[in-house]
Amino acid sequence: MSDPCLPECGVARFLALLNGPWATLIVRELLHGPLRFNELRQLLPGISPHTLTSRLRQFERHGIVTRTTYAEIPPRVVYELTPLGEGLRDVLEAMGAWAMAVPDPGAEVTA
Amino acid sequence: MSDPCLPECGVARFLALLNGPWATLIVRELLHGPLRFNELRQLLPGISPHTLTSRLRQFERHGIVTRTTYAEIPPRVVYELTPLGEGLRDVLEAMGAWAMAVPDPGAEVTA
């Protein structure tokens, strides 16, 4: 549940910080700009509120995301990447560029 | 189980190709050079033979890893990254570089 100590190895540390596919997809959405909780939910069909809350809290704890509450009625809560979180842009771009070079075996067969 | 069609989005496609933490850690080990099944098991304490087999087959299917059998007694089977798989070096380096810049909150507290 918690992550008392991050791994020494950079790759393992990355996997501990962005654990599970949803974490990376949340970052992908936030790279477009700040978002509210329900906006994130709508952009990520299938994510449970529990998972989204858990990942956002983990991101806050590690300084990847800030959570800002605006004293409006009703109150507005906005999640935004910090400069540290913005640093993930290069990583996600590298992921995407590599993955798009992988041929899709499923696209060739008609099964 | 299977992956008949890969996602159109690069990041989601990456997460489908390298699903779960073990997939990325297997690649991390293979970036050092070709390895046998049992060598990979020893380098990745906690991985189940089922998961390792499943990930390696998935990598073979997508052209990320080759599986070569040497007709020795006993037969020797070696897994090696293809040039496509080698392309993951940049991605894993970007992951590691970013992750090592994240402060470890657990390292500060004595709980």
Mean predicted confidence (pLDDT) in B31-56: 96
Per CB-CB distance under 8 Å, the chain B contacts of A96 are 9-11, 13-14
pLDDT higher for A1 or B86? B86
Question: What end-to-end distance do the CA atoms of chain A give, in Å?
Answer: 41
Q: Edge-to-edge, what's the strand order for the sheet holding A35-36? A: A35-36, A76-81, A65-70
Q: Average the pLDDT over B14-37 and give the result.
A: 95
Cβ contact, residue pair B14, A107, below 8 Å: no
Give the B-side interface with A, CB within 8 Å.
2-6, 9-15, 17, 19, 21, 24-25, 28, 61-64, 84, 87-88, 90-92, 94-107, 111
List all residues 6 or more positions away from A41 whose beta carbon is below 8 Å from its beta carbon: A47, A49, A52
Residue of B nearest to A110 (CA): B4
Alpha-carbon distance of B71 to B76, in angstroms, equals 7
Which of A5, A91, A110 to probe by mutation at the B interface, max B CB count within 10 Å? A91
Average pLDDT for chain A: 90
Instruction: List, in sequence order, every residue forming a beta bridge with A78; answer none if it has no partner.
Output: A36, A68
For the segment B58-72, what is each residue's pLDDT rounded down to a tens digit?
999 999 999 999 988
Q: Shortest Cα distance from B72 to chain A (angstroms)?
A: 32
Per-residue confidence band for A108, with pLDDT thresholds at 50, 70 and 90: low
> Average pLDDT of B38-67?
96
Q: How confident is the model at residue B110 (pLDDT cuts 50, 70, 90)?
A: very low
The pair phi, psi for residue B76, each rounded to 5°, is: -110, 130
Helices in A1-111 by DSSP H: which ranges?
10-17, 20-30, 37-43, 49-61, 83-86, 88-100, 105-108
- Give the residue extent of every domain in chain B: 10-95
Fold observed for domain A10-97: Arc Repressor Mutant, subunit A (1.10.10)
Res. B73: pLDDT tops 70: yes
Judged against a pLDDT cut of 70, whether residue B3 lies above it is answered with: no
Confidence of residue A109 (pLDDT cuts 50, 70, 90): very low
- Do B21 and A19 make contact, defined as CB atoms within 8 angstroms? yes
pLDDT of residue A107: 62
**For residue A67, pLDDT beyond 80:** yes
Fold of B10-95: Arc Repressor Mutant, subunit A (1.10.10)
Question: What pLDDT, on a 0 to 100 scale, did the predictor assign at position A55?
Answer: 97
DSSP conformational letter for A54: H
**Distance, C-alpha B110 to centroid of its chain:** 34
Over residues A37-59, the mean pLDDT reads 96
- Cα separation values, A12 from A20, A74, A103, B57, Å: 13, 40, 27, 22
pLDDT top residue among B73 and B67: B67
